Amino acid sequence: MNAPALPAPLILNGPGDARVEASAFGAHLLSWHCRGQERLYLSPNAGFGAGKAIRGGVPVIFPQFGERGDGPRHGFARTLTWEAESADPADPQAARLSFRLADREETRRHWPHRFEAGLDIEPGADRLRIALSVRNRDRNAFEFSAALHTYLAVSDIATTLVHGLEDRPYLDSAQAGAACPPSDAPVRFDGEVDRIYADTRRPLRITDGEQMLRCEAEGFADTVVWNPGEALAAGMADLAPGGHRRFVCVEAAQVLQPVRLEPGEAWTGAQILILEGSAAQYRIGG
Protein backbone atom coordinates (compact mmCIF):
# COMPACT_ATOMS: atom_id res chain seq x y z
CA MET A 1 0.00 0.00 0.00
CA ASN A 2 1.33 3.45 -0.91
CA ALA A 3 1.90 5.98 1.87
CA PRO A 4 -0.54 8.93 1.94
CA ALA A 5 0.55 11.86 -0.20
CA LEU A 6 1.89 14.82 1.73
CA PRO A 7 0.16 18.20 1.34
CA ALA A 8 1.59 20.54 -1.28
CA PRO A 9 4.00 23.15 0.16
CA LEU A 10 2.72 26.66 0.82
CA ILE A 11 4.67 29.67 -0.49
CA LEU A 12 4.65 33.21 0.87
CA ASN A 13 6.43 36.21 -0.63
CA GLY A 14 7.59 38.79 1.90
CA PRO A 15 9.13 42.27 1.50
CA GLY A 16 11.87 42.67 -1.12
CA ASP A 17 12.92 39.28 -2.45
CA ALA A 18 12.06 37.46 0.79
CA ARG A 19 10.27 34.18 0.21
CA VAL A 20 9.42 31.23 2.43
CA GLU A 21 8.10 27.78 1.61
CA ALA A 22 6.60 25.46 4.22
CA SER A 23 4.75 22.19 4.45
CA ALA A 24 1.76 21.44 6.68
CA PHE A 25 3.47 18.10 7.30
CA GLY A 26 5.25 18.87 10.55
CA ALA A 27 4.53 22.62 10.10
CA HIS A 28 7.95 22.35 8.50
CA LEU A 29 9.72 25.39 7.07
CA LEU A 30 11.54 24.14 3.97
CA SER A 31 13.04 27.29 2.49
CA TRP A 32 13.90 30.88 3.38
CA HIS A 33 15.20 32.91 0.47
CA CYS A 34 16.42 36.40 1.33
CA ARG A 35 18.86 38.89 -0.20
CA GLY A 36 19.41 36.71 -3.22
CA GLN A 37 20.31 33.52 -1.35
CA GLU A 38 18.77 30.45 0.19
CA ARG A 39 19.42 30.71 3.92
CA LEU A 40 18.31 27.25 5.06
CA TYR A 41 19.74 23.84 4.21
CA LEU A 42 17.42 21.12 2.92
CA SER A 43 19.08 17.81 2.15
CA PRO A 44 18.65 16.66 -1.47
CA ASN A 45 18.18 13.17 0.00
CA ALA A 46 15.51 14.24 2.46
CA GLY A 47 12.60 11.82 2.75
CA PHE A 48 9.09 13.19 2.27
CA GLY A 49 7.14 10.12 3.33
CA ALA A 50 4.40 10.27 5.94
CA GLY A 51 5.71 9.39 9.38
CA LYS A 52 9.34 10.27 8.54
CA ALA A 53 10.98 13.51 9.63
CA ILE A 54 12.33 15.79 6.89
CA ARG A 55 16.12 16.33 6.97
CA GLY A 56 16.77 20.06 6.87
CA GLY A 57 14.77 23.27 7.00
CA VAL A 58 13.25 23.82 10.44
CA PRO A 59 11.74 20.71 12.07
CA VAL A 60 9.49 21.45 15.07
CA ILE A 61 10.53 19.47 18.15
CA PHE A 62 7.61 18.94 20.57
CA PRO A 63 6.68 17.68 23.19
CA GLN A 64 10.04 16.09 24.01
CA PHE A 65 13.63 16.76 23.02
CA GLY A 66 15.71 13.81 21.86
CA GLU A 67 15.05 10.79 24.02
CA ARG A 68 14.26 12.80 27.16
CA GLY A 69 10.83 11.21 27.50
CA ASP A 70 8.80 8.11 26.70
CA GLY A 71 7.55 9.18 23.27
CA PRO A 72 9.13 9.23 19.80
CA ARG A 73 12.59 10.78 19.54
CA HIS A 74 12.18 14.58 19.28
CA GLY A 75 8.42 14.18 19.72
CA PHE A 76 5.58 13.66 17.28
CA ALA A 77 5.01 17.22 15.99
CA ARG A 78 7.52 16.91 13.14
CA THR A 79 5.90 13.75 11.71
CA LEU A 80 2.21 14.75 11.81
CA THR A 81 0.25 16.91 9.41
CA TRP A 82 -0.84 20.22 10.94
CA GLU A 83 -3.77 22.35 9.80
CA ALA A 84 -2.76 25.28 7.64
CA GLU A 85 -4.59 28.50 8.51
CA SER A 86 -5.48 31.09 5.90
CA ALA A 87 -4.44 34.68 6.58
CA ASP A 88 -6.95 37.51 6.27
CA PRO A 89 -6.07 39.29 2.99
CA ALA A 90 -7.46 42.54 4.43
CA ASP A 91 -5.01 42.45 7.32
CA PRO A 92 -1.74 44.23 6.39
CA GLN A 93 0.02 42.42 9.25
CA ALA A 94 -1.06 38.99 8.00
CA ALA A 95 2.10 38.31 5.98
CA ARG A 96 2.70 34.97 7.66
CA LEU A 97 2.16 31.27 7.28
CA SER A 98 0.32 29.72 10.22
CA PHE A 99 -0.24 26.11 11.23
CA ARG A 100 -2.19 24.52 14.08
CA LEU A 101 -2.05 21.10 15.74
CA ALA A 102 -4.51 19.84 18.35
CA ASP A 103 -4.37 16.61 20.32
CA ARG A 104 -5.92 13.56 18.69
CA GLU A 105 -5.84 9.83 19.10
CA GLU A 106 -2.36 9.38 17.64
CA THR A 107 -0.85 12.10 19.87
CA ARG A 108 -2.52 10.78 23.01
CA ARG A 109 -0.96 7.36 22.43
CA HIS A 110 2.41 8.98 23.09
CA TRP A 111 1.48 11.92 25.32
CA PRO A 112 -1.87 11.75 27.16
CA HIS A 113 -2.71 15.45 27.25
CA ARG A 114 -5.16 17.80 25.56
CA PHE A 115 -3.31 20.69 23.92
CA GLU A 116 -3.26 23.08 21.00
CA ALA A 117 0.00 24.09 19.31
CA GLY A 118 0.62 26.73 16.68
CA LEU A 119 3.52 27.72 14.44
CA ASP A 120 3.73 31.14 12.78
CA ILE A 121 6.33 31.96 10.12
CA GLU A 122 6.85 35.67 9.36
CA PRO A 123 9.42 36.75 6.75
CA GLY A 124 10.76 40.31 6.66
CA ALA A 125 13.06 42.16 4.29
CA ASP A 126 16.17 40.97 6.13
CA ARG A 127 14.80 38.72 8.86
CA LEU A 128 12.66 35.73 9.69
CA ARG A 129 10.59 35.11 12.82
CA ILE A 130 9.40 31.60 13.67
CA ALA A 131 7.12 31.31 16.71
CA LEU A 132 5.87 28.15 18.40
CA SER A 133 2.95 28.43 20.82
CA VAL A 134 1.39 25.79 23.09
CA ARG A 135 -1.85 25.99 25.09
CA ASN A 136 -2.95 23.56 27.79
CA ARG A 137 -6.53 22.44 27.06
CA ASP A 138 -6.39 19.70 29.65
CA ARG A 139 -7.84 19.56 33.17
CA ASN A 140 -4.40 18.91 34.63
CA ALA A 141 -1.02 20.62 34.36
CA PHE A 142 1.56 19.18 31.96
CA GLU A 143 5.20 19.69 31.08
CA PHE A 144 6.95 19.61 27.71
CA SER A 145 10.21 20.38 25.96
CA ALA A 146 10.50 22.05 22.57
CA ALA A 147 12.98 23.35 20.00
CA LEU A 148 13.16 24.84 16.52
CA HIS A 149 15.77 22.58 14.90
CA THR A 150 17.04 25.18 12.43
CA TYR A 151 19.42 24.03 9.67
CA LEU A 152 21.29 27.15 8.55
CA ALA A 153 22.99 26.94 5.16
CA VAL A 154 26.74 27.62 5.19
CA SER A 155 29.37 27.52 2.45
CA ASP A 156 31.73 25.33 4.51
CA ILE A 157 31.30 24.12 8.09
CA ALA A 158 35.09 24.16 8.51
CA THR A 159 35.13 27.96 8.33
CA THR A 160 31.86 28.54 10.21
CA LEU A 161 31.89 30.00 13.73
CA VAL A 162 29.13 30.53 16.29
CA HIS A 163 29.74 33.56 18.51
CA GLY A 164 28.03 34.48 21.77
CA LEU A 165 28.38 31.24 23.73
CA GLU A 166 31.98 31.74 24.84
CA ASP A 167 31.06 32.30 28.50
CA ARG A 168 28.45 29.54 28.78
CA PRO A 169 29.00 26.00 30.13
CA TYR A 170 27.34 23.23 28.15
CA LEU A 171 26.34 19.59 28.08
CA ASP A 172 28.19 17.64 25.39
CA SER A 173 25.71 15.14 23.94
CA ALA A 174 28.47 13.75 21.71
CA GLN A 175 30.24 12.72 24.93
CA ALA A 176 27.31 11.08 26.75
CA GLY A 177 26.05 14.40 28.13
CA ALA A 178 29.29 15.36 29.85
CA ALA A 179 29.19 18.73 31.61
CA CYS A 180 31.81 21.06 30.11
CA PRO A 181 33.09 24.47 31.26
CA PRO A 182 32.89 27.56 29.04
CA SER A 183 35.24 27.37 26.06
CA ASP A 184 36.13 31.10 26.06
CA ALA A 185 36.12 30.88 22.25
CA PRO A 186 33.58 30.76 19.43
CA VAL A 187 32.17 27.33 18.59
CA ARG A 188 34.20 25.66 15.84
CA PHE A 189 33.36 22.51 13.92
CA ASP A 190 35.96 19.78 13.57
CA GLY A 191 34.07 16.51 13.83
CA GLU A 192 30.77 15.97 15.60
CA VAL A 193 29.44 18.87 17.67
CA ASP A 194 26.28 18.30 19.73
CA ARG A 195 25.93 20.74 22.63
CA ILE A 196 23.16 22.05 24.86
CA TYR A 197 23.85 25.49 26.33
CA ALA A 198 21.65 26.62 29.22
CA ASP A 199 20.36 30.12 29.90
CA THR A 200 21.61 31.76 26.72
CA ARG A 201 20.11 35.23 26.79
CA ARG A 202 22.27 37.33 24.48
CA PRO A 203 22.07 37.26 20.67
CA LEU A 204 24.27 34.78 18.83
CA ARG A 205 26.08 35.46 15.59
CA ILE A 206 26.96 32.85 12.99
CA THR A 207 29.79 33.83 10.64
CA ASP A 208 30.39 32.02 7.38
CA GLY A 209 33.15 33.73 5.41
CA GLU A 210 31.88 37.25 4.75
CA GLN A 211 28.31 36.36 5.73
CA MET A 212 26.94 37.08 9.19
CA LEU A 213 23.59 36.07 10.67
CA ARG A 214 22.27 37.20 14.06
CA CYS A 215 20.15 34.71 15.97
CA GLU A 216 17.83 35.87 18.75
CA ALA A 217 15.30 33.98 20.87
CA GLU A 218 12.18 34.80 22.86
CA GLY A 219 10.74 32.41 25.43
CA PHE A 220 13.39 29.73 24.84
CA ALA A 221 16.07 29.54 27.54
CA ASP A 222 18.52 27.12 25.90
CA THR A 223 20.52 26.86 22.68
CA VAL A 224 21.45 23.65 20.91
CA VAL A 225 24.37 23.66 18.44
CA TRP A 226 24.75 20.60 16.22
CA ASN A 227 26.63 19.26 13.25
CA PRO A 228 27.12 15.50 12.82
CA GLY A 229 30.64 15.66 11.46
CA GLU A 230 31.93 13.44 8.68
CA ALA A 231 31.88 10.08 10.48
CA LEU A 232 28.32 10.27 11.81
CA ALA A 233 27.01 11.87 8.61
CA ALA A 234 28.34 8.94 6.56
CA GLY A 235 25.72 6.70 8.16
CA MET A 236 22.78 9.05 7.53
CA ALA A 237 20.94 7.85 4.43
CA ASP A 238 18.95 11.08 4.07
CA LEU A 239 22.09 13.23 3.94
CA ALA A 240 24.06 13.45 0.69
CA PRO A 241 27.81 12.68 0.79
CA GLY A 242 29.57 15.74 2.18
CA GLY A 243 26.22 17.29 3.09
CA HIS A 244 27.31 17.92 6.68
CA ARG A 245 29.70 20.58 5.37
CA ARG A 246 26.77 22.69 4.12
CA PHE A 247 24.86 23.38 7.33
CA VAL A 248 25.01 24.17 11.00
CA CYS A 249 22.06 23.70 13.34
CA VAL A 250 21.59 26.51 15.87
CA GLU A 251 18.37 25.81 17.72
CA ALA A 252 16.30 27.93 20.07
CA ALA A 253 15.30 25.32 22.63
CA GLN A 254 13.70 24.58 25.98
CA VAL A 255 15.41 21.36 27.06
CA LEU A 256 17.00 21.42 30.50
CA GLN A 257 13.99 22.92 32.31
CA PRO A 258 10.73 21.79 30.65
CA VAL A 259 7.85 24.26 30.35
CA ARG A 260 5.04 23.63 32.83
CA LEU A 261 1.55 24.84 31.93
CA GLU A 262 -1.45 24.84 34.22
CA PRO A 263 -4.90 24.26 32.67
CA GLY A 264 -5.75 27.12 30.32
CA GLU A 265 -2.22 28.57 30.32
CA ALA A 266 -0.24 29.22 27.13
CA TRP A 267 3.44 29.62 26.23
CA THR A 268 5.20 31.06 23.19
CA GLY A 269 8.81 30.71 22.12
CA ALA A 270 10.33 32.30 19.02
CA GLN A 271 13.56 32.31 17.03
CA ILE A 272 14.45 35.42 15.03
CA LEU A 273 17.09 35.24 12.30
CA ILE A 274 18.49 38.57 11.08
CA LEU A 275 20.91 39.13 8.22
CA GLU A 276 23.70 41.52 9.14
CA GLY A 277 26.70 43.08 7.41
CA SER A 278 30.29 41.94 7.11
CA ALA A 279 31.67 39.29 9.45
CA ALA A 280 35.07 41.04 9.59
CA GLN A 281 34.47 42.47 13.10
CA TYR A 282 34.28 38.92 14.49
CA ARG A 283 37.57 37.66 13.03
CA ILE A 284 39.78 38.94 15.85
CA GLY A 285 40.24 36.10 18.28
CA GLY A 286 37.89 33.90 16.24
Distance of CA 211 to the CA centre of its chain: 20
Burial class (CB in 10 A: 0-12, 13-18, 19+), 129: middle
Contact 111, 101 (CB under 8 A): no
Contact 146, 63 (CB under 8 A): yes
Please give the DSSP secondary-structure letter assigned to residue 280.
G
Pick the catalytic residue from 149, 163, 192, 244: 149
Pick the catalytic residue from 21, 122, 192, 251: 251
Phi, psi of 161 (to 5 degrees): -130, 145
Is-catalytic flag, 251? yes
C-alpha distance from residue 224 to each of 4, 116, 138, 253, 279 (Å): 33, 25, 29, 7, 22
pLDDT at position 284: 42
pLDDT at position 8: 84
pLDDT at position 197: 98
Run means of pLDDT, 10 residues per run, the chain, 286 residues? 67 94 96 96 85 92 89 90 73 79 95 97 96 98 97 96 97 96 96 96 90 95 97 93 96 97 98 83 51
Is-catalytic flag, 216? no
- Whether the predicted model's global pTM rises above the 0.95 cut: no
Q: What is the largest CA-CA distance in the chain?
A: 58
pLDDT at position 1: 43
* CA 79 – CA 156 distance, rounded (Å): 29
Burial class (CB in 10 A: 0-12, 13-18, 19+), 33: middle
pLDDT at position 85: 86
pLDDT at position 254: 97
